[in-house]
Amino acid sequence: MTNKDSFNIVLVEPEIPPNTGSIARLCGATNTVLHLVRPLGFSTDDKHLKRAGLDYWKFVDIRYWDSLDAFLEAQEETKLYFLTTKTSRSYVDAQYQPGDYLIFGKETKGLPEEILTLYADRCFTLPMANPNIRSLNLAMTAGIVLYEALSRR
């Protein structure tokens, strides 16, 4: 599978190592490229990864970006899908194609407001049936959205 045939998951400034580890495993299992946008809230050096039991990390195609701006400047806008709790448009309404980027913000704050405003037409959410629950865990959400996208190829 070439990169243009693969989906991409983008984690913007991820903070919680187990979420990133679970998403890395998801990416490895589905031949999805994982993009990590700095700063990261943890270290990805070999010592830390081995301690966390992430022995599959070497099977994941991971790309690092120094900033969200650098990442966005390098991409085609029509391939970007921003996942946020701050919209009402469901992720099932997106028209996913291989090569698309599923972009998730940091666990505590989500994506920057200016990005959500700039790309409002490219923002989607995972709706919650219970209004008392704001969102699901980042790794769970990434898995749900990715498998929806994969089901359409």
- Mean pLDDT score across all residues of the chain: 92
* C-alpha span between 12 and 2 (Å, rounded): 24
* C-alpha span between 44 and 29 (Å, rounded): 19
Average pLDDT on 84-113 reads: 97
What are the extents of the domains in the chain? 3-151
Q: Which of 59, 72, 56 is nearest to 33 (CA)?
A: 59
The CATH topology of domain 3-151 is Alpha/beta knot (3.40.1280)
**Per residue in 31-86, pLDDT tens?**
999 999 999 988 877 566 555 546 788 899 999 999 999 999 999 999 999 999 99
pLDDT band at 87 (very low <50, low <70, confident <90, very high): very high
